[in-house]
Structure 1
Amino acid sequence: MKHRIEHLDAMRGIAALLVVVQHGLERTTQYFDAPWIVLDAVNLGRFGVVLFFLISGFVIPFSFRGDQPIRNFAISRTFRLLPALWLSVALLLLVKGPAPLDVVIANMAMIARPLGLPELSGVYWTLSYELGFYIVCALVFWKGSIFDHRLQTGAITLLLACCFLWGIYSWIYFCYMFLGMLMRLAFLEGNEGAKRLWKTYALLLAGSAILLTMQSPGSMFLKPVATTVAMVLPIAIFTAAIAWKPDVPGWLVWLGKISYSVYLLQSIALHACKPLAAVSIPLYLSASIAMVIAMAALSYQLVEEPLNRFGKRLTRKPQPLAA
């Protein structure tokens, strides 16, 4: 299991850096006139986010453990996600200045987008999708069906229907998490139904993503072709990784461990290093990546890891006192 987790950690690290590079490139468009081939060919940020969602769906059942799995799941997710988020919110407020209290609280609770409130960082939009997925997972685990492949196939079918019939295009992101869970059942749990159907649903999701993105008007950084590649290619790469289970270097595993803080703190590093963009775009990107990795390493060591360990202690069954 450790070997499998390590290559998933490595993919997390790669995904986080892709998001940083995308957002860095978006901040440099004023310094060149010709279209940047990277921005036209693939949206690296969306690519990284989709990869994150696939991984999240694949690993989330690991969090249901112990005699009180739903309670333990809630505790582990709380101490895994909120401390680093709160740190990033505090740092953003220091950099950008104060914000209304309701906006701050909503961002700290990962629900700014559902409430229609501004997000303090452009990367926070994914957090509400993660939170919604966790709530669904807890509910279906309570009903005893989280390891039933019909949950994943039914959820993907229903969500895609909502995308096409009612125009709720953003719900396609939930499909990636359910596909990740379906592929876990096929590759790790040996579920016969999942092994039979995961390819069909992977192709269904890829085809749906193509149709939805190609008919979208897009924007400067979300052009139809770039977005389509970003929504489809991660499925192939994720499939290859979990089927192949490649050996990965230790530094990439470590980068995966700090990837959540890299994701959350990137806007601060990109803002701080912005003057370098006028000198050299590669210099700006390199400095931003170096800075955010340093910040994330400190965040992981001082905030994430200690509080994650504390959360795990809370989920352990108390040992009886010796007579």
Structure 2
Amino acid sequence: MKSRITLPSTATRFGWLDAVRGIAALTVALHHLSAELFVGFGAAVREWFDPGIFGVMAFFLVSGYIVPASLERRGDVRAFWTGRLFRLYPLCAVVFVAAAVLVPQRFSAVDVSVHEHPLLAAVANATMLQDLLGLRSGLPVMWTLTYEMVFYYLVTLLFMAGAHRRSGSVAVVFAGAALFLGPWAATWSLRPEFTVRQLTAVTALVVGTGLLFLLTGRRTAQLTGATLLTGLGLALMIANGRSTPWESLLILATMFSGTVIYRAERGQIRRGAAWAYCGFVLVAGTAAGLLYDDRRAQIRTWTASPIAWVSAFLAGWALFGVAFLLRRRRMPAALTWLGLVSFSVYLLHRPLISVMSWSMAKVGDPHGAAQELIWLAAFLSALLLLSAFTYHTVELPGQRLARRLLERHRGPSAGGEPGVPETSEKELVAARQGQ
């Protein structure tokens, strides 16, 4: 009698990633909400643990795990970037415009630069490198997308150069640079050599040119584009970032650590080597946070203490690690659904908090825990409903449009998804509908 090999279901294979994204997005939302509700409790928590750092580190590990896999499984740089652009830009544009137009300026749904210098802010944010140009992100939470874009540039260049399997070495280099160069890198700056307008104009030109090269389908042009974009992204990140250089470098080290975990799972590198690479990043991150997150750095890391940064950094890793160990188990449906709409939750929660502040100004601030709990329930209900709406009306149509453009260019034989996250979401929905 022949034995049958039972493969894990689609929902099981990808549910753990959605669970991490869902928990991370909701934690960041509640972290920012604590500025309006449960203020004293939130301040006490942030002294020892920063929920925002926890959430974004978990996000970065997920991106590191899944994004390079998307590019490598496709083997098509143009398809990868088409998927990425249509994954990020539609929702960012819709939320950005709605927040700027619908919410009064005094409740700051967008950064003040959007109202004072609308054209400059629009161009800077369109590059998704705005946090490296001397401007605050139009939507405050979009600072993480800056690091996502630099990571995409690096992943593309490594893939084009045939060095994509060296994720462990790359993670160690960034973590080592964060630990050993952190204090000196903080003194580097592109200002005052460039004004914000000049830097934004040059960046927009290079980003536009680089992306056009990546979308040509010609290897030489794509390699040129990836090189330009990677050089620009790293230079801006180290010398002109809003955050400290050591934190920026650790973010990239964390994302490449997610890639290391993926490679170890797939048997592309030895597990002992993966443990060594990830262990070094954890040790370097812990040491850098304790050594460098002083009072001056906290203005740029938005944290309250070195312990708060380090505990959150380690907890983000712990969440990802526990979910990874449970990856063959079926995750709770609520968590996997929350993961599907996590990008909407992440972008929408700050504008919604501004709307809530606007409402409180009209009806009065809450007094007492009971009233605060009512506001909390109303906020979460509105956030999840709006996120479900934008997921179905903005995110999914953008992904479908990317697929149609690719199919039109390459024919029906290229009808796969433009990226693994989109594939997993489509399959998860289909799997649940079949249950």
Q: Provide the TM-score with structure 2 as the length reference.
A: 0.67
- 1:16 alignment partner in structure 2: 25
Q: Take 1:65 and 1:314, find their aligned partners in 2: how far apart are those partners?
A: 20
Kindly indicate whether the alpha-carbon contact (under 8 Å) linking 1:66 and 1:315 is maintained by their aligned counterparts in 2. Answer: no
Supply the AA of the counterpart residue of 1:261: S
Q: What is the match of residue 366 of structure 2?
A: 278
Q: Write the distance in 2 (CA, Å) between the matches of 1:136 and 1:73.
A: 13
Q: Could you give the per-residue CA deviations for residues 230-258 of structure 1, whole angstroms, max 9, x where no partner exists?
A: 11121122122112213212222111111
Alignment correspondent of 2:316 = 234
Alignment deviations for residues 289-316 of structure 1 (CA, whole Å, 9 cap, x no partner)? 2222111111111110011111123234
User: Following TM superposition, by how much is the alpha carbon of 1:124 offset from its aligned partner in structure 2, in angstroms?
Assistant: 1.4
- Determine the structure 2 residue equivalent to 1:268: 351
Q: 1:277 touches 1:284 (CA, 8 Å); kept in 2? A: no
Aligned residues of 1:110 and 1:127 also touching (Cα < 8 A): yes
Q: Give secondary structure in 1 for the equivalent of 2:264.
A: helix
What are the within-5 Å matches in structure 2 for residues 20-169 of structure 1? 20-28=29-37, 32=40, 36-64=43-71, 69-94=76-101, 95-97=103-105, 98-100=115-117, 101-157=119-175, 159-160=177-178, 161-163=180-182, 166-167=185-186, 168-169=245-246
What is the aligned partner in structure 2 of residue 318 from structure 1?
411
State the match for 1:5 in structure 2. Answer: 14
Gaps of 5+ in 1: none
Q: Please state whether the residue corresponding to 2:130 is helix, strand or coil.
A: coil
SS of 1:207's equivalent in the other structure is helix
Please give the alpha-carbon distance, in whole angstroms, between the structure 1 residues aligned to 2:35 and 2:313. Answer: 19
Partner of 2:257 in structure 1?
179
> What fraction of aligned residue pairs are identical, expressed as a percent?
27
Using the alignment, how far apart are the partners of 1:297 and 1:319 within structure 2?
30
Equivalent residues in 2 for 1:215-230 (5 A)? Answer: 215=291, 216=293, 217=295, 218=298, 221-230=303-312
Q: Which moved more, 1:8-17 or 1:167-176?
A: 167-176
Deviation at 1:178, TM superposition (A): 0.5
Distance in 2 separating the partners of 1:89 and 1:130: 18
Q: 1:44 to 1:21 in 2, by over 3 A?
A: same
Answer whether contact 2:341 2:391 (CA < 8 A) is retained: yes
Rate the CA distance shift 1:41–1:277 in 2: closer, same or farther, 3 A. farther
In structure 2, relative to structure 1, the CA distance for the partners of 1:283 and 1:37 (3 Å cut) is farther
* 1:300 corresponds to: 391
- Structure-1 separation of matches of 2:93 and 2:163: 33
Greater mean alpha carbon deviation, residues 267-276 or residues 168-177: 267-276
**1:23 aligned counterpart, secondary structure:** helix
Contact 1:15 1:52 in 2 (8 A): yes
Distance, in Å, in 2 between the alignment partners of 1:163 and 1:120 is 27
Per the normalisation by structure 1, the TM-score is 0.89
Q: Distance in 1 between matches of 2:94 and 2:384?
A: 15
Shift of 1:198: 2.1
**How far off its partner does 1:78 sit?**
0.3
Aligned-residue offset at 1:261: 1.0
Cα distance, 1:159 vs structure 2: 4.1
Supply the distance in 1 between the matched residues of 2:116 and 2:78 (Cα, whole angstroms): 33
Give the ranges of 4+ consecutive aligned residues of structure 1 lying more than 4 Å apart after TM superposition.
65-68
Give the direction of change, closer, same or farther, for the CA distance of 1:66–1:310 in structure 2 (3 Å limit).
Answer: farther
CA distances 1:50-83 after superposition (whole Å, capped 9, x unpaired): 0000000000024326776100111000000110
User: Structure 2: which amino acid aligns with 1:278?
Assistant: P
Once the two structures are TM-superposed, the CA of residue 24 in structure 1 deviates from its matched residue by 0.7
